[in-house]
Structure 1
Amino acid sequence: MQSPYDWKNVEITGRSLVSGYTDSTTNGAAHIELVARGGTHTSRLPCKGTGYHANLYVTGRSKFEKELEHTAGYATNNPQKTGAVSPLKGKWIGFKQAIHTVPSGMKVEQWYQEYVNGQWTSWKKIFEYPDKGSWGGGNPKYGGTSPYGTSYKLISWGGPLVFFRWDNIDKMYIKHLSIRDFTKLKSDGMKNRFSTLYFTGINICCYFHILKMEC
């Protein structure tokens, strides 16, 4: 996960309409989730399962999660905001996560919009949180002297995968999924990479894949 083509400083955007969800709390209550700065999230390759997660729950609660290893490396002091937006069910909404490398460390942001009276409202920032090295508390076994450092290590690297995910939502329409990379790759003249995927349907998880990885 050290390629110049990795997704790193990114803006992940999607629009959705939740029309049904369950009471299950497996992987958390019903929510939409956007993830970047890592690779595959499996027990076979736990060291690749890093990322900053932006969660928006159907109740309107907002949360960030930091993961330094799948799954032992989840932080224990993940920030959240109750009532960040009104409940999601029955309306088209736009949800965006922006991940930035800043002089003080890392910063994650959540943005939100709604479709009202035939048009989209302006994007509004609903939550942001800085990672300056005090966000952590998990138990990644790849800590210590490894490249991943301690449980408070900044996720300063990118990754070949970006995830659009939802849990415990059993009926939802989605469209206008996109990823924008702020990074300017001087080596080959690439600037502001942009990928987009348009479709409507119901799924569990989809992702953009750039490179194959092995531990």
Structure 2
Amino acid sequence: MSQTHGLKASRGGWKRHVASTGALALLVSAGPALAASGFTAVTASGDDGNRPSATVDGNLATRWSSLGVGQWLRGDLGAVKSLSAVDIAWHEGNRRANTFVLATSTDGATWTMAVSTKSSGTTANFERYTFATRTARYVRVTVNGNSLNAWASIAEWAAITGDLPAPVGRDRFGVTMLYPSKAGGEAWTLADNATSDRRFNPQDTLTRNSDGSWKVRDSQVRLSVFTSTGYDDNKIPTYDRDVLASRGYMQAANDWKNVEMTGFVKLNSASVASDNFDWYARGGKHNNDHSGCEGSSYKAGLHYDGRARWQKETWHVSYEQTPYKAATSALKGRWVGFKSVMRNVTVSGRTAVKLEMYVNENADRVTWKKVYDYTDAGAWGGDAQHCGGATGPMPITWGGPIAVFRWDNANDVDFKWLSVREIQP
């Protein structure tokens, strides 16, 4: 992912044009400094003559200032982009600590908080504020005073953006597909009559809702999806981890390996608020048969309280977890889309696994925010020796015959628009 940022040149000779309407100042034409900031335009809630355009002119000696708690500065990236951080150089940032909130939006109307914190108060140069990578077009910083007074004053700021995976269309439900499907690869979508699909094993009683979605009431849910080959553990000749890594699959060459899993869920009731939805693949059944070695997986976990993390199940049951990250607000009572992406990549000449999570917070099927990005390059816990592996923390680079949509301790959940696709790694 390429990143854009740089404000090294001087101000001299750069042409700016500022148009004011009421209390808002809009930068209309972009010079080199504006382009370097990542923004195509900036606006603000107000100013004292130090206009918002000064925050993108490449000059730390100029600033935007406005008096009062809650004053804000907004930047337009010109298009929806992948955003992972914002750099801010606070005016007199070496003398006072600013209390502020960073928020992002794809449409300029609905905003999602990215950071709520204070500046260090020790430098007038750039400070970087990072957050889980997300899609955004607009960035807003709201200043709630500083350690000396109620002024909001910013000398420069810049967005840290990168290229998004090129959208490759939508599935039959109208849901955006983030990665291109593998030519001739495996693909599955939830059937109109889900209970008659022989590739789908819900292992629970499903009922149809009036809006076409499905309801399941159980404290342990495992919605299993088979490849077109189906599942038969008698056709799995070995669980030796080194052999599986070498050939790339567990049961058959079309096992679920490089996949994008998508599902929309509405949590109506949960007995444990900290439990989670898990979308996982790269193994078979998860039980104690075969010493648990069939139960390998990467599990993308979206918790009911809005947190996210990845789990690596080297065998069933042997877990490693990544740290929690804030992904969204609490899930109860609303439709949320959730994507799990796992794909093999090369790191330092060896096969590694790229793990990504995305959420669609408004259920429009289109607006996806990346909430987790992690690469297992062979140094992440695990004890693969239990199943014949030469090294304990080896990545799970092989495919498996079953992909699973799973949740526990939620006794009333609606779901719809489930899909599993084999993607280009």
Q: Give the residue type in structure 2 aligned to 1:89.
A: K
Partner in structure 2 of residue 196 of structure 1 = none
Partner in structure 2 of residue 17 of structure 1 = 266
The alpha carbon displacement at 1:3 in A equals 2.0
CA distance in 2 between partners of 1:35 and 1:137 (Å): 17
Pairing 1:155–2:396 present: yes
Partner of 1:14, secondary structure, is: strand
Pairing 1:90–2:364 present: no
* 8 A Cα contact 1:93 1:114, kept in partner: yes
- TM superposition score normalised by structure 1: 0.74
Partner of 1:3, secondary structure, is: coil
CA distance in 2 between partners of 1:164 and 1:94 (Å): 13
Partner in structure 2 of residue 63 of structure 1 = 309
CA distance in 2 between partners of 1:80 and 1:170 (Å): 27
CA distance in 2 between partners of 1:34 and 1:48 (Å): 17
Structure with the bigger RCO (C-alpha within 8 Å, sep 6+) is: 1
The alpha carbon displacement at 1:183 in A equals 5.0
Partner in structure 1 of residue 37 of structure 2 = none
Q: How does 1:117-128 map to 2 (within 5 A)?
A: 119-120=364-365, 122-128=367-373
Q: Alignment partner for residue 172 of structure 1, among 409, 413, 423?
A: 413
The alpha carbon displacement at 1:40 in A equals 0.9
Identity score, percent: 37
Q: Give the residue type in structure 2 aligned to 1:52.
A: Y
* 8 A Cα contact 1:114 1:120, kept in partner: no
Deviation string 1:122-162 (CA, Å, 9 cap, x unpaired) is: 011111110011111447522xxx2x333201101000000
> Which consecutive residues of structure 1, in runs of 5 or more, have no partner in the other structure?
185-215
* 8 A Cα contact 1:74 1:139, kept in partner: no
Structure with max Cα Rg = 2
Q: Alignment partner for residue 40 of structure 1, among 285, 289, 300?
A: 285
CA distance in 2 between partners of 1:38 and 1:120 (Å): 28
* 8 A Cα contact 1:15 1:175, kept in partner: yes
Partner of 2:293, secondary structure, is: helix
CA distance in 2 between partners of 1:103 and 1:137 (Å): 20
Partner in structure 2 of residue 6 of structure 1 = 255
CA distance in 1 between partners of 2:386 and 2:371 (Å): 33
Q: Give the residue type in structure 1 aligned to 2:420.
A: I
Pairing 1:108–2:333 present: no
* 8 A Cα contact 1:115 1:121, kept in partner: no
- TM superposition score normalised by structure 2: 0.38
1:120/1:159 CA distance change after superposition, 3 Å = closer
Partner in structure 2 of residue 204 of structure 1 = none
Pairing 1:51–2:51 present: no
- More helix per residue: 1 or 2? 2
* 8 A Cα contact 2:382 2:394, kept in partner: no
Partner of 1:48, secondary structure, is: coil
* 8 A Cα contact 1:14 1:178, kept in partner: yes
Q: What is the aligned-residue RMSD (CA, Å)?
A: 1.9
Pairing 1:181–2:409 present: no
1:149/1:38 CA distance change after superposition, 3 Å = farther
* 8 A Cα contact 2:272 2:410, kept in partner: no
Q: Give the residue type in structure 2 aligned to 1:110.
A: M
CA distance in 2 between partners of 1:167 and 1:85 (Å): 19
The alpha carbon displacement at 1:80 in A equals 2.8
CA distance in 1 between partners of 2:416 and 2:264 (Å): 5
Q: Give the residue type in structure 2 aligned to 1:155.
A: I
The count of corresponding residues between Structure 1 and Structure 2 is 171
Moved more, 150-159 or 120-129: 120-129
Moved more, 80-89 or 106-115: 80-89
CA distance in 2 between partners of 1:42 and 1:5 (Å): 22
